[in-house]
A and B are shown apart, each in its own frame.
Chain A
Amino acid sequence: MNVVASFLINVAAFAVLAVGGGLGTAWYMMESGSRLSTRTLGPWVTWTTAGRPDSDPYTRAHTSRNALLPISSTLELTYIASTDSNGGRLHSACEYAIVMEDPEIAWWGIAAFDGRGGLIQNAAERYAFNSETVMREPDGHAVITLARDARAGNWLPIGGGSRITLVLTVQDAAWAAASMERGAPKPLPEIQRVACR
């Protein structure tokens, strides 16, 4: 009896470790990435070889699994944030301020989505800003406010009582190359939580 029990325990442990461990670690590497495939700057995470034909298998799996069509990271970098600069999870119940200072970037866009990448329904039908549409301060910087209710200036509505994901797209080959160099990454905007309900 002891031998049978021991055999069954070993078989169960083998199956759980092999299948669960293999699939679990693969899922983690595809969804969250690691230092092998992503780069983190404050709350922003980018898949360093996204879109490139020579991208690593985790990046390729991440792209495919999430139905993304990224432009090659040699030209355009896509940064994703699901937390603010203090590490708090972005949520539609809160208000956030993002300061964009971009004198060197050729083109950028910032968009808010729900946690699954869907656009957030709002009466203003406003879902994103880019370097052409944003209103700037006299010194060139722009402040984008994420809030449920209308705000003056660059208001990006977030509602629906759900988690928020911000996507910052930077299209500039020189900037992308400089950002990928080790040592001194290009600064990205901070996401400051202003208030929560």
Chain B
Amino acid sequence: MKAAILKLPRWMRQIGWRTVVGAVLLAGIVHITATLAVPLLGPGNAFRKLRETLPANQMVFLPPPTPNTQLLPFVAADALYAACRFDLTSTPVAVSAVLSDPGWTLSLHTPQGDNFYVMPAQQLRRSEVSLVISPASERLVDFVSSRRFSGDDSQIESPVTEGLVLVRAPLRGLSWRAETEAKLRRASCTPVQPKR
């Protein structure tokens, strides 16, 4: 051991063990801080990239992914997408969509990308789904108008006041493109008006 240390360059032999131990401890702190900070401060997450494209509480039919129109990396181009940036600051948001075939999904995401709710097509008895997203602490009963929403609406508590709704519609082939697009365009995202 001593021989190995003596073989080190002279400048390295001047580094004290306290320096090494202190640096390793600080490296651990830097490591943890960087890992935790990236989802909160990182400029490149999906929500930030889509935020400018999406008006609040409105379903937007995204352009079919091509090399020139691709909004996010690693998004499969054999599917069409609709997205809504929900903002629950003043009111819950009602979402509905048709999930007709295997592979279709309706998913809710936090700005950090966590998927806190997902509804796939194959587990459904019927293809139409509707749900109301409300803040975790919100009493939905104060908002929902009985005329507009039936008891069939799922009520989803969101851990965040702002996030993304994404509806993915895989294409079954070019012949079905128009039909898939028509079904996807039936997806909606609207603020819930409070009871009067």
Contact = CB atoms under 8 A, between A and B. Distances in A.
A10 B78 contact: no
Given A109-B103, A118-B70, A127-B65, A70 B27 contact: no
Interface stretch (B36-44, B85-93, B125-133): B36-44
Interface residues of B, number: 60
Contacts of B72: 67-69, 117
A118 B77 CA distance: 10
A63 B172 contact: no
B120 interface: yes
Given A51-B115, A119-B67, A60 B34 contact: no
A140 interface: no
Contacts of B38: 30, 61, 64-65
Contacts of A131: 102-103
Interface string B94-129: 000000011101010110111110101011000000
A30 B35 contact: yes
Contact of A132 (B31, B77, B101, B116): B101
Interface string A76-89: 10000000000000
Contacts, number: 204
Contacts of B122: 106-107
B48 to A, nearest CB: 8
Nearest to A119: B67
Contacts of A64: 38-39, 42, 44-46, 112-113
B46 A60 contact: no
Interface residues of A, number: 63
A23 B30 contact: yes
A-B complex: 8 closest residue pairs judged by Cβ atoms: A22-B30, A117-B73, A17-B23, A127-B77, A18-B26, A128-B78, A21-B27, A51-B115
Given A109-B170, A127-B76, A130-B76, 5 more contacts: A13-B15, A18-B22, A60-B113, A129-B78, A131-B102
Interface of B: 11, 14-16, 19-20, 22-24, 26-31, 33-36, 38-39, 42, 44-46, 49, 65-67, 70, 72-74, 76-79, 101-103, 105, 107, 109-110, 112-116, 118, 120, 122-123, 159, 164, 166, 170-173
Interface of A: 5-6, 9-10, 13-19, 21-23, 25-27, 29-30, 51-53, 55, 57-58, 60-61, 63-72, 75-76, 106-107, 109, 111, 113, 116-121, 125, 127-133, 165, 167, 169, 171, 173
8 contacts: A61-B39, A64-B113, A68-B74, A70-B113, A72-B118, A107-B102, A118-B73, A133-B173
